[in-house]
Amino acid sequence: MKKFILEKIEVPKGAANADLIKRLYDLGLHPGLEVEIVSKISFNSVTVIQYGSTRLALNEEEFACLHGR
Protein backbone atom coordinates (compact mmCIF):
# COMPACT_ATOMS: atom_id res chain seq x y z
CA MET A 1 0.00 0.00 0.00
CA LYS A 2 1.29 3.35 -1.04
CA LYS A 3 1.70 6.22 1.36
CA PHE A 4 2.42 9.80 0.48
CA ILE A 5 2.68 13.17 2.12
CA LEU A 6 0.15 15.65 0.83
CA GLU A 7 1.89 18.73 -0.55
CA LYS A 8 -0.94 20.75 -1.94
CA ILE A 9 -4.63 20.44 -2.71
CA GLU A 10 -5.39 22.01 -6.04
CA VAL A 11 -7.58 21.45 -9.04
CA PRO A 12 -5.27 20.38 -11.86
CA LYS A 13 -4.58 22.83 -14.68
CA GLY A 14 -6.21 25.70 -12.91
CA ALA A 15 -9.79 24.66 -13.67
CA ALA A 16 -11.74 26.50 -11.02
CA ASN A 17 -13.59 24.40 -8.52
CA ALA A 18 -13.23 26.21 -5.25
CA ASP A 19 -16.09 24.27 -3.66
CA LEU A 20 -14.40 20.97 -4.23
CA ILE A 21 -11.12 22.13 -2.72
CA LYS A 22 -12.93 23.57 0.25
CA ARG A 23 -14.77 20.31 0.79
CA LEU A 24 -11.54 18.35 0.81
CA TYR A 25 -10.27 20.64 3.54
CA ASP A 26 -13.60 20.25 5.37
CA LEU A 27 -12.81 16.55 5.49
CA GLY A 28 -9.54 17.22 7.23
CA LEU A 29 -7.18 16.95 4.30
CA HIS A 30 -4.35 19.50 4.37
CA PRO A 31 -0.77 19.89 3.16
CA GLY A 32 1.66 17.96 5.33
CA LEU A 33 -0.80 15.15 6.05
CA GLU A 34 0.23 11.55 5.53
CA VAL A 35 -2.24 9.79 3.24
CA GLU A 36 -2.36 6.10 2.42
CA ILE A 37 -3.83 4.72 -0.79
CA VAL A 38 -5.84 1.71 0.29
CA SER A 39 -7.21 0.52 -3.03
CA LYS A 40 -8.32 1.45 -6.50
CA ILE A 41 -11.84 0.25 -7.17
CA SER A 42 -14.77 0.71 -9.54
CA PHE A 43 -12.78 -0.15 -12.66
CA ASN A 44 -9.79 1.77 -11.43
CA SER A 45 -11.64 5.06 -11.27
CA VAL A 46 -12.26 5.37 -7.53
CA THR A 47 -9.43 5.68 -5.03
CA VAL A 48 -9.94 4.73 -1.41
CA ILE A 49 -7.61 6.65 0.89
CA GLN A 50 -7.01 6.47 4.60
CA TYR A 51 -5.69 9.23 6.85
CA GLY A 52 -5.94 9.10 10.60
CA SER A 53 -9.17 7.27 11.33
CA THR A 54 -10.88 8.49 8.18
CA ARG A 55 -11.49 6.32 5.15
CA LEU A 56 -12.58 8.17 2.05
CA ALA A 57 -13.52 7.15 -1.48
CA LEU A 58 -12.72 9.73 -4.15
CA ASN A 59 -13.51 9.71 -7.85
CA GLU A 60 -10.86 10.52 -10.46
CA GLU A 61 -11.46 14.24 -10.50
CA GLU A 62 -11.38 14.52 -6.73
CA PHE A 63 -8.30 12.39 -6.28
CA ALA A 64 -6.50 14.41 -8.94
CA CYS A 65 -6.68 17.39 -6.58
CA LEU A 66 -4.36 15.71 -4.11
CA HIS A 67 -0.76 16.36 -5.01
CA GLY A 68 1.95 14.70 -3.00
CA ARG A 69 5.20 12.92 -2.80
Partner 1 sequence: MSTWALVGSPNSGKTTLYNWLTGSKSKTVNYPGSTVEYNVGKLRAHLAERINDQEITIVDTPGVYSLTPQSEDEQVTHDVLYTQHNVDSLNGVIVVLDATQLSRHLMIAKQIVDSNYQTIFVVTMLDLIEKEGSQIQLEELKNELGPNIVLFDGILGRGLNEIVDLLPVTPANDEIFHHENWDIEKHTQVIQWAENLAAKTIVNRNEQKSAAHFTNQADKVLTHPILGLVIFFSIMTLLFASIYWAATPLMDLIDGLFSSAVAVATENIPGLFGEFVGNGFIAAIGGVVIFVPQIFILFLGIGILESTGYLARVAALIDKPLSMVGLGGRSFVPLLSGFACSIPAIMATRNITSKKERLIAQSIIPFMTCSARLPVYALLIAFLFGDENPLLAGLVMALMYFGAIVVGAIAANIISVFVNDTTKSRLIMELPLYRRPRFGYIFMQSLSKAKSFVVKAGPIIFGLALILWFATNFPRPEVVEGQEPLSAVEIAKDSYASEVGQAVEPIFRPMGVDWRVGFGLISAFAAREVFVSSLALMFNITDEDEDAAQQGLLAAMKKATFENGEPIFTVASVAGIFIFFMIALQCTSTVGILKREMGSWKPALMQLFFSNLVAYCLAVTVVFVLKSFGL
Residues that bind partner 1 (CB under 8 A): 19-20, 22-28, 30-32, 38-46, 48, 52-59, 61-62
Which residue, among 5, 8, 1, has the nearest Cα to 67 in the 3D structure? 8
| Cα gap 38→55, rounded to integer Å | 9
Which CB atom, from 5 or from 42, has the smaller least distance to partner 1?
Answer: 42
Which CB atom, from 19 or from 69, has the smaller least distance to partner 1?
Answer: 19
Q: How far is the CB of 69 from partner 1 (least distance, A)?
A: 18
